[in-house]
Structure 1
Amino acid sequence: MNIKLQLKEIQVYIVGHTPPGVDDREVGASGLAEQHNARYLQIVRQYADMIRGQFFGHWHSDTFRIIYNDNDEPVSWIMVTPSITPYRVVGPNNPGLRLYKFDNDTGQIVDYAQYYLNLPEANLGKRANWRLEYNLKEHYELNEVTAASLHDLADRFTQPRHNAFVRYYEANRVSLPREVEEIWGCGGALNGLCALQHYCAVTRLTTRAYSNCVSSYASALASAAARSPSSGSTRLILIIAILIFRR
């Protein structure tokens, strides 16, 4: 990006295939080389004021990412759209198609409508019936689509007795039937370690930051579990999880 673009106050969308950060399903696998990932994040931080949205795919899942500045303030967001292709190495998904709504004057994204195809039903009936799966703001109870609002949404993933992650996890798999999801998923929407994996993928966009996020939160959970009378099995699960995330 050239500094002249910023001086002209041009507003841009960034559209690409492979996003920065790590795969939310494949335990921290990255799609970009480390130096390219770091350079991309640096550019976005520098020009965050002129970037109206970032749109990627590649992971075949419905998710998002948040980019923070050096003061850990959310400054930009990335939407990762599910694929029409149902195949995926680490787990399938229903086909998905998304329509964004934006403000003509400001270029700001104001909402999107996510559609999906129930693939088992389509195969059985020999007919494709695309349905509205959800609208972003209604589904996640957002007032606006900003880096700050999505940061708050991600924070709710790890809050007890909050349904934000349940809603996210269903969308992440594009309403995959539960019997299929149980084979490929990370333990389900009520699994704390599963929520942690996705939270760290959404908010930590380097492999090192992701690994540190998982380890530090898991250690905190382990400390809390150690004070519980029934902590033995919990500690064992957390230790196994830490080893998996660090491999």
Structure 2
Amino acid sequence: MPIRKNSRSIWKLFIPCILIIYLGFLGFVYTDDDIGTIWQITDFHYDANYSTAGDPKNMCHSSKSESPWRKVGVYGNYSCDSPLALVVSAVKAMKTIEPNPDFILWTGDSIPHIKNSDNSMKKVYEVIANMTHLLKEVFDNVTIYPTIGNHDAFPSNQIPADEGRDYYDQLLKASHWNILLKPEDQDQFLKGGFYSCLIHPGLRLLSLNTNLYYVLDKENVAKPDPANQFQWLDQQLRYASDHGEKIIIMAHVPPGGFERSMNITWMYPAFNDRLVEILMKHNHVISSQIFGHEHTDSFKIIYDGKIPVSVLLLAPAVTPMNSTLPGAGPNNPGIRLYFYRRTTGEIINYHQYYLNLGKIHPGSNSANWELEYRALEDVLLTDMSPESFDRYVKDFTKDKMAKFQKYLYHNTVSYGEESAVKPDAKQFLQQVCAISHLSTDAYQTCISQSPKTYLRANSPEGSMSQNKGPELPIYTYYVVTAFAALTFLVLVVMSVVRKQCTQTPSLPFRYRPLTNDCQYVQRERAT
């Protein structure tokens, strides 16, 4: 039956409305104004005694036996900590790439890897002050959130937990962190080097002092809860849950093991497991977790049983120094730019930038910081969720370990040539155990396995997972769902309109509809 005139008018209004709603949804997906940026910079390890005439076997400190420019470059050497030129170029590269981030996360370790006999508390405060002023000078209108590293003390690694010690007070005064932190945040910082900061209503930053749990810190090993930070952290997360807040966590030392060396863990077991337990318990309010310390580019996944519930992102260092830890090796200097949702603090992508020292002539005075990779586009993560990282790790063994090879290359910030990276069963075991098993017992159980047996057990042969098709970007599911919902709405409206235009009212049999515009008139049948 032809549609009545009024229904045509309805469709003239209805169809444009549907199109506007649908295009508006697509605009939300692709041009989301809620997306902001965050810079992370970590592990400067600035060495004021670095010299281009220095000896790489002696931290690139001045030596008469070495000729200038032979091995030691202006922007650094893989055997040494950061010269001033490298530190300045890193911060200026940040300014060039993204001059207006929402804020900067500075995740600790400004002091070089020097002997305690060559260091002092005064030098510690001075070096950190220099880094503070450099960051503030370049990013004068940007909020900078600092956290302490395990080397940011004297003696190294000995971070006090006692309230009233002048260490934290001097970081505020002598190292000028009082220009970075608000007065109310400074009050909490004085109690143990950690603090809570409200970024905006609904989103809070927690800066933790995880150095208190560090395995080389002898000050706190006998304390059940150094500086009462565990209690404070649990209270902060409970408060966030009760008040509808989301949390970004930043810290220096991460829990778990070191992925490039077998059986090296960062925290005392009791401290490690308690921290992991708290993070797992409150995962629903924790949007992002940002760490440094390892100098490498990696991540860790927290599981609730077998379900991945949280991801810890570990950014690489500015210093390129070849670690003394077995199997660690050097890395290229790196800086990281995160993209996140301002309302929730959720990381939705990141771009990793680096300086390839191997391509710089020792006498060159120019530093070309480049984009190394993008997390979603180049690593091919579906999104930044724990589930996506879990699938990524499970894909390490596919295609002759191609993804694992790429990950290992990025793990050193593209040091050397990618073709020289040869993944093996031992590397696979120590990397995956460190990534996926953060509690002490789980990690020890994992690394106790035979590398070859573990690799075979996690290979895709015979697994249904190898038959899965390629994963689609997460926004694809949103678009499909929205389209399905709108289609359903259209069908419902069409059904209602059609019913109105075809329904015959309950009238005596002698009456029937005579017009096509749903207007019924009574007409007596001829008798």
- Does the pair score TM above 0.5? yes
Deviations 1:60-79 (A, max 9, x none): 0000000001x221000000
Name the residue aligned to 2:357: 119
Deviations 1:20-58 (A, max 9, x none): 000011212111111111111111111101101111111
Percent identical among aligned pairs is 34
Residue in structure 1 matching 2:439, options 206, 220, 242 = 206
Structure 1 residues 49-128: aligned runs within 5 Å: 49-69=284-304, 71-87=305-321, 88-90=323-325, 91-124=329-362, 125-128=364-367
Amino acid at match of 2:367: A
Q: How many Å separate the matches in 1 of 2:290 and 2:299?
A: 9
Please state whether the residue corresponding to 2:336 is helix, strand or coil.
strand
Cα RMSD (Å): 2.2
Tell me, yes or no, if the aligned pair for 2:256 and 2:434 is still in contact at 8 Å: yes
Q: Which has the higher helix share?
A: 1
Please list every run of 5 or more consecutive structure 2 residues that lacks an aligned counterpart in the other structure.
1-233, 458-527
Q: 1:201 to 1:207 in 2, by over 3 A?
A: same
Name the residue aligned to 2:451: 218
Q: How many Å separate the matches in 1 of 2:454 and 2:384?
A: 31
Relative contact order, CA 8 A, sep 6+: which one is greater?
1
Q: How many Å separate the matches in 2 of 1:50 and 1:190?
A: 37
Q: How many Å separate the matches in 1 of 2:274 and 2:427?
A: 29
Relative to structure 2, which stretch is displaced further, 85-94 or 145-154?
85-94
Deviations 1:139-173 (A, max 9, x none): 22112101110011111123452421011011001
Amino acid at match of 1:5: A
Q: 1:86 to 1:8 in 2, by over 3 A?
A: same
Tell me the number of residue pairs that the alignment of Structure 1 and Structure 2 aligns.
217
Tell me, yes or no, if the aligned pair for 1:81 and 1:98 is still in contact at 8 Å: yes
Please state whether the residue corresponding to 2:377 is helix, strand or coil.
helix
Name the residue aligned to 1:238: none
Q: How many Å separate the matches in 2 of 1:25 and 1:110?
A: 27
Q: How many Å separate the matches in 2 of 1:136 and 1:62?
A: 12
Q: How many Å separate the matches in 2 of 1:138 and 1:119?
A: 25
Deviations 1:86-107 (A, max 9, x none): 1122311100000000012332
Name the residue aligned to 1:23: 258
Is 1:12 the counterpart of 2:247? The answer is yes
Tell me, yes or no, if the aligned pair for 1:22 and 1:206 is still in contact at 8 Å: no
Please list every run of 5 or more consecutive structure 1 residues that lacks an aligned counterpart in the other structure.
183-187, 225-247
Amino acid at match of 2:341: D
> Post-superposition shift, 1:217?
5.4
Residue in structure 2 matching 1:35, options 250, 263, 270 = 270
Please state whether the residue corresponding to 1:168 is helix, strand or coil.
helix
Please state whether the residue corresponding to 1:139 is helix, strand or coil.
coil
Please state whether the residue corresponding to 1:49 is helix, strand or coil.
coil
